[in-house]
Amino acid sequence: VQRLLGRPASTRGAMLRLFAPVALLSAFLNNTPIVATMIPAVNSWSRRIGVAPSKLMIPLSYAAILGGTLTLVGTSTNLVVNGQYRSLTGSEGFSLFAITAVGLPVALAGAAFMWLFFARWLPDQREDAPFANLREFTLEVAVAVGGPLAGKTVEQARLRHLVRVYLVEVEREGQIISPVGPEEMLCGGDRL
């Protein structure tokens, strides 16, 4: 990403350098994997160039959305509209680039809007937000009825001193037990 996007002199320059490749990819590929793939790269790139990641994440998403307006396969919505058009008119439908004449001005207007306003409007949040580490997540596990954990306390089940894991709550028959004490008995059907 660093080589592709370079070292822009400003936040606005970073937004524009990000817009073109993301919009172009999004014209032919699904938006979700593009954005999901680009988030860590853009986060790293933004730190290297001295721009707050919070200034580039919304432009990343908008670039993917606006890029989807460039071709028939850019978004699933375009394909649905094409299918409806074909079924209602009996025609062959639109070609791959039939909507580019409308989509390109829309995408360029969106890029101009971002360039003019987003640098000022978006937050300048440089510190790591809670759970910024992509390896942090919540996991839910069920205690099997008659399983090895059923009938044991949290301490006996060795759930008190897990490495890099913390037992936040136990859900039992619709009731939430939190905080969870070491003497809490685990029952089959509990959700940890």
129 pLDDT higher than 80: no
Token output for 136? 């942090």
Higher pLDDT, 3 or 179: 179
The token duo for 34 is 């593009």
> DSSP letters of 100-155?
HHHHHHHHHHHHHHIIIIIHHHS----SPPTT-STT------BPPTTSSSTT-BTT
pLDDT digits (tens, 9 = 90+) for 70-84: 999 999 999 999 999
pLDDT at 98 over 60: yes
Average pLDDT over the chain reads 89
Q: 3-class DSSP state for residue 8?
A: coil
Q: What is the pLDDT of residue 96?
A: 96
Residue 175: how many CB atoms within 10 A of its CB? 7
Weakest mean pLDDT among 46-55, 90-99, 131-140, 174-183 = 131-140
pLDDT of amino acid 161? 83
- pLDDT for 136 beyond 70: no
Residue-wise pLDDT tens digits, 142-178: 999 999 999 999 999 999 888 878 888 999 998 999 8
Domains of the chain, start order: 2-121 (no CATH), 138-192 (3.30.70.1450)
Would you give the distance in Å from CA 184 to the centre of its chain? 37
Q: Model confidence at 126, in pLDDT bands (50, 70, 90)? A: low
The pLDDT score that the predictor gives to residue 170 is: 92
pLDDT, residue 71, reads: 96
Band the pLDDT of 131: cuts 50, 70, 90: very low
